[in-house]
Chains A and B, each alone.
Chain A
Amino acid sequence: EAQVTQNPRYLITVTGKKLTVTCSQNMNHEYMSWYRQDPGLGLRQIYYSMNVEVTDKGDVPEGYKVSRKEKRNFPLILESPSPNQTSLYFCASSPGAWSANYGYTFGSGTRLTVV
């Protein structure tokens, strides 16, 4: 089944403790992206990747890192999480850079709480 898999689904952590949220897709998609979803603010892009070793900042990149060493994986790293990073996070992929020909396939989300 074609899908985007995120882990973990739920995570509670303490301020300052480094964490990684994994994302993997099995569709050979070139484009991958991370979003956070907050009430009243909608989905905001954190980072995106056009292909292996090519990443770029989205609208809200502060406090996050990403890497794209393989086409299928796009982990999101929080080096020193803070409470304002408590949110619902989504990984998404697409065959190419977004255009009218494509749509995103989203993972099921990771609900992160930083205390």
Chain B
Amino acid sequence: TQLLEQSPQFLSIQEGENLTVYCNSSSVFSSLQWYRQEPGEGPVLLVTVVTGGEVKKLKRLTFQFGDARKDSSLHITAAQPGDTGLYLCAGEDTGNQFYFGTGTSLTVIP
């Protein structure tokens, strides 16, 4: 069962543009993480959010956990080619089960 749906699935933008990636579920999650995966490598943890409404910033990346803890978003400001990669959300539900989303493949064109 796929609990975490990410959108868009693919995104290609020009350098300097802003973008938002979404991670949605009908289930409540006790916490949610975002990972970035570059070609030929494993995912690398970017951030963990645990409180409904929580916002965290990592340089040009802003992560938000929905008030109801069912969804999350990742906003990138002034995207750079180095941001290219597969972005994965992952959540732990209230039954302590852990799931990954299907991913958003981002390409930033110089």
In angstroms, Cα B102 to Cα A99, docked, is: 20
Segment of B14-22, B44-52, B72-80 engaged in the interface with chain A: B44-52
Q: Mark B85-110, 1 if CB is under 8 A from A, else 0.
A: 00010101000101011110000000
Q: Which residue of B lies closest to A35 (CB)?
A: B100
A42: contacting residue among B41, B96, B100, CB under 8 A? B100
Q: How many residues of A contact B (CB 8 A)?
A: 21
Q: Which residues of chain A are within 8 angstroms of B101 by Cβ–Cβ distance?
A: 42
B96: contacting residue among A90, A97, A103, A108, CB under 8 A? A97
CB distance from B63 to the nearest CB of A (A): 13
A92 sits at the interface (CB 8 A): yes
Secondary structure call for the B interface: strand
Contact A98 B98 (CB under 8 A): yes
Contact A92 B103 (CB under 8 A): no
Contact A99 B42 (CB under 8 A): no
In angstroms, Cα B42 to Cα A43, docked, is: 11
Q: Which residues of chain B are within 8 angstroms of A100 by Cβ–Cβ distance?
A: 30-31, 48, 50, 92
Q: Which residues of chain B are within 8 angstroms of A90 by Cβ–Cβ distance?
A: 42-43
In angstroms, Cα B44 to Cα A100, docked, is: 15
- A sample of 29 inter-chain contacts (CB < 8 A) reads A35-B100, A40-B102, A41-B102, A42-B103, A43-B88, A43-B90, A43-B100, A44-B100, A90-B42, A92-B42, A97-B96, A98-B92, A98-B96, A98-B98, A99-B31, A100-B31, A100-B48, A100-B92, A103-B35, A103-B48, A104-B43, A104-B45, A106-B41, A106-B42, A106-B44, A108-B41, A108-B42, A109-B41, A109-B42
Q: Measuring CB to CB, which residues of chain B are less than 8 angstroms from any residue of chain A?
A: 2, 30-31, 33, 35, 40-45, 48, 50, 88, 90, 92, 96, 98, 100-103
